[in-house]
Amino acid sequence: MARDQPVIRRLMPDDAGEYRTLRLRALREHPDAFTSSFEEEQLRPLAWAQARLRPDVERPHDFFLGAFIGDELVGMVGLQGRYRPKERHNAAVVGMYVAPDAAGRGVGGALMRELLAQARALPDLEQLDLTVTQG
């Protein structure tokens, strides 16, 4: 595999430090692109990020994927499910970000393709929502 090809894998609690750093960078650099704000999220402890990345059998539609070049986390995207009975077929794509130094080389596309592949394998899931910012 070429050195700069990203490896896409699910983020786990051990990745929380890198995840939190990249996420805060995304929120700081692109305040208009995300619903969460840098100001609110920088106050959250590492334990919050660890909990967010911990697999939960009650919430199988919730996970984040990371794109790694070498050992470095350079991009991420998440899925966030809805779990009321009438909404369970639906989940939202959240937190898509690729660091500027890795952008424009297909990392975002690779993340989204893997997210879609994993979403298709979840039996209850039928529909994904994706929100974008005008402009």
Ligand X SMILES: CC(C)(COP(=O)(O)OP(=O)(O)OC[C@H]1O[C@@H](n2cnc3c(N)ncnc32)[C@H](O)[C@@H]1OP(=O)(O)O)[C@@H](O)C(=O)NCCC(=O)NCCS
Q: Which residues of this protein are in contact with ligand X, per CB under 6 A?
A: 26, 30, 33, 96-98, 103-109, 132
Nearest CA to 68 out of 111, 28, 23 is that of: 111
**Closest CB 99 distance from ligand X, rounded Å:** 8
Q: Which of residues 8 and 107 has its CB atom nearest to ligand X in the complex?
A: 107
**Closest CB 33 distance from ligand X, rounded Å:** 4
Q: Which of residues 123 and 135 has its CB atom nearest to ligand X in the complex?
A: 135
Q: Which of residues 32 and 58 has its CB atom nearest to ligand X in the complex?
A: 32
Contact between residue 53 and residue 11 where contact means Cβ atoms under 8 Å apart: yes
Categorise residue 70: left if φ over 0, alpha if ψ from -120 to 50, beta otherwise: left
Q: Which of residues 13 and 68 has its CB atom nearest to ligand X in the complex?
A: 68
**Closest CB 29 distance from ligand X, rounded Å:** 7
Residue nearest to ligand X (CB): 108
Strand positions, DSSP E, the chain:
7-10, 63-69, 72-81, 90-98, 127-130
Distance CA 31, CA 62 (A): 23
Residue 104 dihedral angles phi and psi, to the nearest 5°: 80, 10
**Closest CB 132 distance from ligand X, rounded Å:** 5
